[in-house]
Structure 1
Amino acid sequence: MIYCNSDKKLLHFLHNELELSNADIAVALRHRELDNGPIPMLLWQYGLVDLEQLARIFDWLAEHA
């Protein structure tokens, strides 16, 4: 799978700032291929981030859009 630069930056943020495991991120990426949903919502939907972390992700996205 090929990721655009913004996806790479988001994945870096999720791994390094929120300390999500590669396995957690991989779950969201697999479901993204099937559901075509946004990564932050998939992470929350599958219980991989809580609401505080979800808010941090959206804040980060707003700053880096």
Structure 2
Amino acid sequence: MQRMFCDKTNQGLSDRIAEHIAAVTFDSLPTATIHATRRSLLDALGVMLAASGLSTDPRPY
């Protein structure tokens, strides 16, 4: 895939962040980052599974 880069002086913050993220490889990530990400994803999955049995009807207060 060919990527086109624009002039850095006129580049927006979101473009610079996107380029940085696109350049990151799995091997360049610190081990602590990988573990924290896995833990966060598993936590989110657990919350979704736990909430899947709840009623969708609002309760009156």
TM-score when normalising by structure 1? 0.28
Which has more helix, going by share of residues?
1
Higher RCO (C-alpha under 8 Å, 6+ residues apart): 1
* Rg larger in structure: 2
